[in-house]
Structure 1
Amino acid sequence: MNLNLDTTPAALTGKLITPTDPRYDDFRSTYTTVGHPAVVVVPESASDVAAALLMARDRGLPLAVRSGGHGLAGRGTNNEGLVIDLRRLNKVTVLDHRKRLVRVEAGARWAQVAQALSPHGLAISSGDHGNVGVGGLAVGGGVGWLVRRFGLTVDRVRAVDVVLADGSVVRADAQNEPDLLWVMRGAGAGAGVAVAFEIEAMELRSVGYAQIAARVDPAGQVLQRMDAVLRDAPRELTTALMLSSQGADTHVFITAVVATDDQQAIRRAIEPLLGIGDATLQQALVTPYRSLVPRHHLHANVGQMASSTSNGLITDMTPTAARAMVDAVSGPTPVLIQMRSLGGAVADIDPSATAFPHRHQRSLVIASSFPPYGHEALGKAWEPVAEHTQGAYVNFESNPDKAAFDRTYPGSVGTRVTELWKRYDPEGVLRTGARS
């Protein structure tokens, strides 16, 4: 698309990147998806974001919004449209140390947040990689290393500065625009562009960290034992599991984080994981929280990891669900399966309190395929596992169709999300053209 920039809004002068710009290749893509947008806008203020939104609306351009740019779902870019890249809105400010209240701009990435808060002895329950952007994660849910102890990121969001599709800038909190605050905590991408969050952090400096590898039996009993351990585990323990197959052998690789620096408590939390089967403790240490999302994660995002992703939530790891997961990774389509633990503090929140309603499930199961296998092949491999899931998480879904929406926002939650999207963005500017 040849975009006429002669009438570019004055506020955006010097903030547009087009395909002829030598910086274009560094700005057009996410980690998983190479895009070909007509223009990338790199705002430096909320008013710049407003100007970019109005530019997309007035010129009928498909719109995508990107915070950090990691974006496994790939929706932070598009083809022949306008991309708003928030990376220059990245300040992290401690507003009130006594109340642990922190202001984080949406373009910051979690490595930057952790580094900024570390000298204050504070941390935010966030993603599990330092390159993940604050904005995308914090409007979708926020499943990370501290989730069982401190809940989802959205559970700690107290206010959001939002630019609406009509260009107005609104503060959403419990007293002012409570409906907007509700939808921004779990389904925000269709309501407005979050430019900053006020988040209640927690006091945390160091955590226990362990890596465990185990052989997986064909029936997946090791996964059932893992589920049983987590059912009775202390809230301080959060795990991420990766299931992969090489030839006839299937293995599980477990990362365990214990949200305390008490070595006895760390040992008590991790030891049951070693009893799930043929397991080996590969590493165990106490480390600063910032080392889990380190600065060296802050790489460029140029579509270097093309993939398709889907997911579902599981309450109990039944024998048939466990076998289905093992069969999926050892089947004809190479599939990588991850399982993130939930429960604990996540379940403390009323399902109607935020637009993330999935509070009783204990695990998030994520399946990914890689070229030459696309979304259709992933769907066939994932279907036997999907039969055992209930609900989905928006940030790990690269095909956001109607069925995915209904899984993510079921029943009355979906009805309310749809109503609020139409209220705050009646023309659907934010919901057109994002690359899946």
Structure 2
Amino acid sequence: MSAALARVPGALTGQLVTPGDRRYAQLRSTYTTTASPAGILLPKNTAQVVAAIRYAREQRLPIAVRSGGHGLSGASSNNGGLVIDLSMLSRVQVLDERSGLVRVEAGARWANVAKSLAPYGLVVSSGDYGNVGVGGLATGGGVGWLVRSFGLTIDRVRAVEVVLADGTLVRADAEHEPELFWLVRGAGAGAGIVVAFEIEATEQRNVGVAQLVVEAHPDGRTVREWAAYLAQAPRELSAGAVVYAEGRSTLMSITAVVAAESLRRVRPVVEPLLAIGKLLEHRTDLLAYPTLVPNAHLHPNVGQQRGTTTNGLFTRLDDASARALTRATTGPGRAVFQLRSVGGAVNDVDAGATAYPHRHQNTLVVGSVFPPQGGAALDAAWRGVAARADGAYVNFESRPDPAAFARIYPGETGARVRRLWKRYDPDGVFRSPLLTARPARSGQPARSGQPRSGQPARSGQPRSGQPHRRRR
């Protein structure tokens, strides 16, 4: 152990992992970035989180906070600093089965949450990959498989427990600390450490899942028709698509999830998607919700999935944007794009109700390139897509900087976020790279990774960025 980290307080005995510890190799990095922190603190409860913050501040080292470690920016680890890893705070408790109120600790993974709630017939719409940590997703937004039916994950949060930079534990909800409650739903990374969430889960046991692969027309019409249908489809339908090159062709691998308990309801809702391009594969099943975010997803995060990613929100994908997106998949950078449906219940929420202000858009487009391609290739691919973008989502940005902040938190929302970050963390202990990083320049890619595939992985499924045609 280095001399700088020798004086561990009694409350944290045995909870500090340093280089040389056999656990260090699996804790040092994130999913997207290899890192070398001076140490990783593993608090088991809220009192140890308080002790961890105070200890880390005493060391005068950079602090990173990790719930799951899937963040594309790699900010949940660092080089030479301390990481407060919440993975041991992973309890899931049903507080009120009748109302669906559940308490979930920030270090839980969404696969564990889904499995824990399944016996009660409850679900939380929470991203699309089971190994993602609760804390990062539930403070940024949460675009899940049931997003159009039930909204973002943050829209179902009813209270939070937050440890502030000075070690104070605060409970925030609509009536108590309402400004903090507003902030942590969309911009929580700069406020403190959220250790637990009270979330109103939804009653749902099974969902209809249609998986299809279509050949996308090179003029962009397939992408445009996908987005146009999802914008006005029944709310039971949420969908994601991966758009990628296979040879000289562009394919769309689509997963459509319908919040319905009967295939008789599912099939007519997804049928229009079968006609948007040349259909290569198709299968529709009725599945238990945990199948979408299974325990098979759980794995260590050791920097294994690098890449460079950005995103934009669109009210409407016009012909030019859809055409540019499609052509970029077969261009020199071989970009991979994901489409995520939003709208529906997301847009029922007032734009000022949370720190996620994007309440009129219908489609989230995520663009990624992978080594050896970098930032310059992504910028070239994204330029033609981004002309009509109207906002961005914090959890799908691998190059956080002030320019990204302006897209993610525009106008008065951004001013309020800055003001509240300063109020709750006046010393900048949890200072976001969205405020401090230099704007990324072409040719200087961030070391980061891609988002999850728009396909619910079963055991053995490839990651996004490695798409292929699957036979069912």
Common fold by TM > 0.5 = yes
2:306 matches 1:270: no
One-letter identity of the residue aligned with 2:22 = P
**SS of alignment partner, residue 185 of structure 1:** helix
Which piece of structure 1 moves more, 156-165 or 60-69? 60-69
Task: Map 1:414-429; keep pairs closer than 5 Å.
Answer: 414-429=414-429
**SS of alignment partner, residue 256 of structure 1:** strand
Unpaired segments ≥5 residues, structure 2: 438-446, 449-472
Aligned to 2:127: 127
Which piece of structure 1 moves more, 53-62 or 191-200? 53-62
Which piece of structure 1 moves more, 374-383 or 31-40? 374-383
CA contact (8 A) 2:93 2:104 kept: yes
2:5 matches 1:5: yes
**SS of alignment partner, residue 429 of structure 1:** coil
Task: Map 1:113-124; keep pairs closer than 5 Å.
Answer: 113-124=113-124
Q: Whole-Å Cα distance in 2 between the matches of residues 3 and 249 of structure 1?
A: 57
How far is 1:376 from its partner?
3.5
Task: Map 1:20-31; keep pairs closer than 5 Å.
Answer: 20-31=20-31
Q: Whole-Å Cα distance in 1 between the matches of residues 58 and 380 of structure 2?
A: 40
**SS of alignment partner, residue 387 of structure 1:** helix
Q: Whole-Å Cα distance in 2 between the matches of residues 430 and 326 of structure 1?
A: 39
Aligned to 2:162: 162
Q: Alpha carbons of 1:334 and 1:262: their partners in 2 closer, same or farther (altered >3 Å)?
A: same
Aligned to 1:223: 223
**SS of alignment partner, residue 286 of structure 2:** strand
How far is 1:432 from its partner?
6.1
One-letter identity of the residue aligned with 2:325 = M
Deviating runs (4+, > 4 A) in structure 1?
432-436
Aligned to 1:240: 240
Q: Whole-Å Cα distance in 1 between the matches of residues 360 and 40 of structure 2?
A: 40
Q: Whole-Å Cα distance in 1 between the matches of residues 193 and 295 of structure 2?
A: 26
Aligned to 1:213: 213
How far is 1:225 from its partner?
1.3
Q: Whole-Å Cα distance in 1 between the matches of residues 429 and 418 of structure 2?
A: 14
Aligned to 2:101: 101
**SS of alignment partner, residue 333 of structure 1:** coil
One-letter identity of the residue aligned with 1:206 = N
How far is 1:342 from its partner?
0.5
Aligned to 2:258: 258
Aligned to 2:178: 178
Q: Whole-Å Cα distance in 2 between the matches of residues 140 and 432 of structure 1?
A: 13
2:30 matches 1:34: no
Q: Whole-Å Cα distance in 1 between the matches of residues 330 and 165 of structure 2?
A: 46
**SS of alignment partner, residue 139 of structure 1:** helix
**SS of alignment partner, residue 299 of structure 2:** coil
Deviations 1:208-240 (A, max 9, x none): 001111111111101111122112211010110
Q: Whole-Å Cα distance in 2 between the matches of residues 148 and 269 of structure 1?
A: 13
How far is 1:3 from its partner?
4.9
Q: Alpha carbons of 1:377 and 1:55: their partners in 2 closer, same or farther (altered >3 Å)?
A: farther
**SS of alignment partner, residue 186 of structure 2:** coil
CA contact (8 A) 1:274 1:281 kept: no
Unpaired segments ≥5 residues, structure 1: none
Question: Aligned pair count?
Answer: 436
How far is 1:247 from its partner?
2.9
Q: Whole-Å Cα distance in 2 between the matches of residues 134 and 400 of structure 1?
A: 20
Aligned to 1:299: 299
Q: Whole-Å Cα distance in 2 between the matches of residues 154 and 428 of structure 1?
A: 24
One-letter identity of the residue aligned with 2:87 = R
Aligned to 1:76: 76
Aligned to 1:313: 313
2:61 matches 1:67: no
State the identity as a percent.
57
**SS of alignment partner, residue 126 of structure 2:** coil
User: TM-score normalised to the size of structure 1?
Assistant: 0.97
Q: Whole-Å Cα distance in 2 between the matches of residues 246 and 262 of structure 1?
A: 34
